[in-house]
Structure 1
Amino acid sequence: MSRTRTSFSASSRSTGQHSDGSEISCSSRIHACAGAVCPRLAPAIDQNTVWLVAVRTADATLEEAVETVPHLAEAYFELFDEPESFRRGALLAVFPDVDPGDAAKFIDGGHARVRAGFVRRGLMLGEFHKASSVGSVRNPEFTVMQSPVPMFAVRALMTHDILFLDRPGEHREELLGYYLEHVGGHAPAGRRSRPADPRSDGAMA
């Protein structure tokens, strides 16, 4: 990323440098949260497996999102390097330099470009920003992907993610192939819930 000044930061626990010169340091674990929007998040908080990082960007363009966001997958593998923590963990990455009122191109556009690479590695990537209109699986009127600060969320691929991956689109077969590779015989026989909002990957669902 020689054209950008992107860096990742949180508190101080571990710091590393990627081959392109960008840095990431992570240590802020989330210990408490009011309210239960996501069924996965509360147990992850209780088990101290939620990490928060701030990602600084130079231009906040779509191109920078495409170059920067894939590093979150590397960070996830570094933070959750044991099978159990990998399965239960969550990485929340906020982008304070991205204008919340104009974040859709960076967040939604970046998500569309890089999510297949995350699924290929057994991860789900969720996109959050202030203007998101993506609804919940069970309540479309509940806009679950809104966040006052632009954010991506990363977690391990789960069996229920068939709801988000098995839908019309040019990458459907590719995504389902990755899903079956990682979930294998644990894949559900059929859907028991309504189809997910086609715009969402339900990163914290």
Structure 2
Amino acid sequence: MMMDIPVKPADVTFTDAQWKAIWATGKDVLVSAAAGSGKTKVLITRMIEKVLSEHNPIDVDELLVVTFTNAAAAEMRHRMAEALEEAIAVNPDSIHLRRQLSLLNKAQISTLHSFCLNVVRQYAYLIDIDPGFRIADSTEAALLRDDTIGEVLEDAYNADNPEAMYRLADSFTSDRNDQSIETLIDRLYDYSRVHPSPERWLRMIPMQYELDEEVTIDELDFIGPLKT
């Protein structure tokens, strides 16, 4: 059952929409806003209010909070600690509040990557992978990607029917090396990652070039956005 949202005090700087996002209960809440508009602050306040609630308080280690940056995760944990310490100062006899402060280090407040890393490592025995694995840093990842692109191009040149690869090389490379194609593949891969179905999106790209002879340039799907 959804609880009535408290009346917003006059000295509160949250907007009405932010205030509703903080206090809404009994249903899923989606908050969509531009960068720097206060989403993190709203989420932190929502977390704090749930832990400090007088009607139905929760334990801080029941929360799962994932962010995209370590800085945001650290800020959330720090703000939660400050709020708990302030609440304990007001109500020093509260066992619940003191327990929350001790549980804070166990709370799942981290980046999305860190949370997934912990889950995979904890259940590594179920998926047959070495629990001692680690996430490659950006330099290692770049080197692995370069090696993979090199292997893919080598396989393409050595294929039974390499004519298509030769046409691609003639169109996008110089006479010296294949660096232009490697850069193109690298960028195309990054673009594909923002789509929910990257492989399907990549397979759809060539289909845009399969046109009837009667089609004019003004009828192409991408011409409208280009003109605007």
TM-score by shorter chain over 0.5: no
Report the TM-score range of the alignment, normalised by the length of the smaller protein.
under 0.3
TM (norm. structure 2) is 0.26
Which is higher, the Rg of structure 1 or of structure 2? 2
Query: Which structure carries more helix by proportion?
Result: 2
Greater relative CO, 1 or 2 (CA 8 Å, sep 6+): 1
Q: Which has the higher strand share?
A: 1
TM-score calculated relative to the size of structure 1: 0.28
